[in-house]
Amino acid sequence: MTRGVIVPLESARLVEYAVPIACYVCEGQNNFDAEYCRYCSAPMALAHQASSQKVFPQMVATVGASGVGKTVYLGMLMDMLSRRPKQVQLLARGAFSITLQQTTLAALGRCEFPEKTPNEPDRWNWVHCQIRRPKQRQTMELIMPDMAGEAVLQEVDHPNTFRVIRAFLQKCAGAMVLIDAVKLKESGQSQEFFTMKLISYLGELSDDTKRGWSRKPVALVFTKVDQCEQCAKDPTQFAQTHASGLWQQCEERFRQYRFFATGVAGACAYRHSHENGRVHVPLRIEPHGVIEPFEWLLSKLGPSGRR
């Protein structure tokens, strides 16, 4: 998506326009002043920042079915990491990187879950951040978008529907795959099948045995475990018991994977809404197991590239 602007006819400006800027995600050529990539709708700010700061941030995916809790997880993760002084710390790069944290925390503070992420990629929140780890001098640069679950599902079912998702996942250094523990336990296998499809999709993205997903770290994170104590206690055992197909597929496809359990709400109720039907409402916010999957993933990632 390109923003139309009236530019005075100056030679310096014309030079800028003559040199295209490559989208950081899909590498499509864009105008100098494009806000979003014209091909994949990723924000061009990512490319500008990488260029000006002389670093190549690594990309980490947070994917899962619609309603699994990706926005809550990412927003909460960002806020928790930015409030801990002596441990792993997160510093947002650019104002746009704080929007996700801001909207998520504002909603949770009101005892509401944030609104569903829209399907349109140009309305997704992208996070570019710097990670500082204790006892490690070198910082890490990461890009983590909050992609809509329905868009991911469409891309998985119909490859190339969303170019941004495919391009992003091809470039990712690792992933956190979120799975709704309550739905997995209570509502049959739809969660398991979706996750299996996703893992299968990742596996097919690259045939490269050295750089493909088989060698990339994947954290499989059960969400909403405040309502599923069995999962909170032992997520690996829970996966073997309630998602044996998924567990087997992980065994076959990934060399580095681990199951985690996370929960953000202490207890939940729901209310009826005219617009959205039955809406879940958190009665209090007590994050558990939010940072652990991310820290594990960081420990498996290499350093950020530099120009």
Partner 1 sequence: MRANRRAIIMGAIGAASAVILGLGWYWAWAPLAAGGGVGLGFVLLQWASGSLGFRSGGPEVPPPDTKSETAPPAVRSSMEPTDPSDVDALVERMLAQGRYALLLRPQIAATLNEEQLDRAVTALQEGMALVPDGEVVLGRIDDALDDGQLEDEEIAACEGRVIRVEHFFLDRYPVTNGQYYDFVAGDGYRQIALWDEKIWPAVLDFVDQTGQPGPRFWQNGCYPNGLEDHPVVGVSWYEAVAYARWVGKRLLTDAEWVKAGSWPVSLSPNTRVQRKYPWGDAMDRSRVNLWGSGPEGTVPIHEFADGVSVGGVYQLIGNVWEWTRGDFEPVDPLHRELVLEVPMKSVRGGAFDTYFDNQATCQFQSGETAIARKRNVGFRCAVGACDLMLARPADDFGVPTESQGASIEEVPV
Task: Give the binding-site size for partner 1 (rule: CB under 8 A).
Answer: 20
Q: Are 263 and 287 in contact (CB under 8 A)?
A: yes
Q: Is 109 in the site for partner 1 (CB under 8 A)?
A: yes
Cβ proximity to partner 1: between 76 and 175 the closer is 76
- Residue 143: closest CA among 74, 67, 84, 206: 74
Q: Is 17 in the site for partner 1 (CB under 8 A)?
A: no
Pairing type for strands 125-132 and 29-30 reads unpaired
Instruction: Supply the DSSP symbol for 187.
Output: S
Stretch that binds partner 1, among 13-21, 47-55, 92-100, 110-118 (CB under 8 A): 110-118
Q: In the bound complex, what is the minimum distance in angstroms from residue 105's beta carbon to partner 1?
A: 8
List the one residue from 272, 274, 299, 307 that touches partner 1 (CB under 8 A): 272
Q: In the bound complex, what is the minimum distance in angstroms from residue 58's beta carbon to partner 1?
A: 28
Stretch that binds partner 1, among 29-37, 244-252, 268-276, 299-307 (CB under 8 A): 268-276
Contact letters (x/-) for partner 1, 42-81, by CB under 8 A?
----------------------------------------
- Residue 220's DSSP bridge partners are 177, 259
- Residue 285's DSSP bridge partners are 265
Stretch that binds partner 1, among 54-62, 163-171, 197-205, 265-273 (CB under 8 A): 265-273
Stretch that binds partner 1, among 21-29, 40-48, 182-190, 263-271 (CB under 8 A): 263-271
Phi and psi at residue 120, in whole multiples of 5°?
A: -70, 125
User: Residues 75 to 94: which contact partner 1 by CB under 8 A?
Assistant: 83-84
Q: Determine which helix (DSSP H) or strand (DSSP E) holds 266, and give its type and residue range.
A: strand 263-273
Q: Are 81 and 291 in contact (CB under 8 A)?
A: yes
Q: Is 233 in the site for partner 1 (CB under 8 A)?
A: no
> Which residue, chain included where needed, has tokens 């002043």?
33
How many other CB atoms are found less than 10 A from the CB of residue 86?
6
> Which residue, chain included where needed, has tokens 């530099």?
306
| Dist. CA 16–CA 18, nearest whole Å | 5
One-letter amino acid at 119 equals N
Q: In the bound complex, what is the minimum distance in angstroms from residue 269's beta carbon to partner 1?
A: 4
User: Residues 184 to 213: which contact partner 1 by CB under 8 A?
Assistant: none
> What are the DSSP calls for 205-249, one per residue?
H---TTTSTTSS-EEEEEE-GGG-HHHHH-HHHHHHHH-HHHHHH
List the one residue from 20, 266, 303, 305 that touches partner 1 (CB under 8 A): 266
Question: Which spans of this chain sit near partner 1 (rule: CB under 8 A)?
Answer: 83-84, 108-112, 266-267, 269-272, 281, 283-288
